[in-house]
Amino acid sequence: MRTGLKDKHIVITGASGGIGFDVVSRFLEEGAKVTACYHSDPRGLKTLLDAFPGKLNNVSADVQDEFSVESLFIKANAAFGRVDVAVANAGIASHEGVAIHAMSIDRWHKTLAVNLTGVFLCAKHFIANLKMYPGDDASLVIVGSTSGEFGEAGYCDYSTSKAGLKGLLLTLKNEIVHLSVRGRVNLVNPGWTVTPMAEVALNDKAMVSKILQTIPLRKVAAPADIAHAILYLASDKLAGHVSGQTITVAGGMEGRVLFSTDEVMDDIRQ
């Protein structure tokens, strides 16, 4: 089935990461023009420049910084004109679980700055851009996490940053239509996905065992699983009547295993 994304212009943040790179590749394969926002390392993206000549514009930006995000959209407009789709995908997660009583205020601020304020800034400048470049259709796809749905002990900074995206989703779906009459906003919540972000946890067999006990499909996602959901929501042709929705791509995940069997034995005996 055709996505109708040919010649559409997509801006995506976190483009050099595990999920982002897959999304960039798939949009390019669909014939879209992509402004790929990387943070520190454009090397992987450079390989796509030769494969898709004239279709890829790699731009560096820090999503925590408003000037940087505003410049990203100005550079995107200069390269390919109107931005039709924005994918707010950049995110960070600490590899170290820390309970709230021991969590530093610096970690809290940093995670919220990238994962929540970063999405706010990307959404703000995408929607502001629609004022300069009028058009009926527009799609904003936000990348959250199952952590925002189920919580995650040791990572309250991350789960809070991702849960906050729901507020943006439900509000912006009602705001975007004032600038773009068929404008849509949706959220994709990945579960565990094989990328550099999840590498440490997924290399730990005990951890993987705990993870798979919560997932009926008994596997973690590949970046392509998440990219397909993003492509669907980006496409006006496929998802033109879908707005304000959350698609969870997590193999049917039910929640978290909180304690091992040994840990609950005493409670069972009582």
Please identify every residue annotated as catalytic. Answer: 158
Closest contact distance (angstroms) between CB of 19 and ligand NAP is 4
**Which amino acid makes up residue 13?**
T
Report the residue number, 19 or 229, with the smaller CB distance to ligand NAP: 19
Closest contact distance (angstroms) between CB of 154 and ligand NAP is 15
Alpha helices in the chain, H assignment, sequence order? 18-29, 43-51, 66-80, 105-112, 118-132, 147-150, 156-175, 199-202, 205-212, 223-234, 236-239, 261-269
Q: Which residues bind ligand NAP (CB under 6 A)?
A: 13-14, 16-20, 39-41, 61-64, 89-93, 114, 143, 145, 190, 192-193, 195-198
Closest contact distance (angstroms) between CB of 61 and ligand NAP is 6
Which strand ranges, in their side-by-side order, compose the sheet holding 85-88? Answer: 56-60, 33-38, 9-13, 85-88, 137-143, 182-190, 246-249
Closest contact distance (angstroms) between CB of 198 and ligand NAP is 4
- Signed CA dihedral, 204, 38, 163, 83: sign only: negative
CB neighbours of residue 170 within 10 Å: 13
CB neighbours of residue 74 within 10 Å: 13
Which residue's Cβ lies closest to ligand NAP? 17
Report the residue number, 12 or 176, with the smaller CB distance to ligand NAP: 12
Structure-token pair, residue 125: 């400048």
Q: Are 147 and 191 in contact (CB under 8 A)?
A: no
Report the residue number, 32 or 253, with the smaller CB distance to ligand NAP: 253
Q: Are 85 and 139 in contact (CB under 8 A)?
A: yes
**Which amino acid makes up residue 33?**
K
**Which amino acid makes up residue 176?**
I
Report the residue number, 119 or 127, with the smaller CB distance to ligand NAP: 119
Report the residue number, 89 or 129, with the smaller CB distance to ligand NAP: 89
Closest contact distance (angstroms) between CB of 233 and ligand NAP is 14
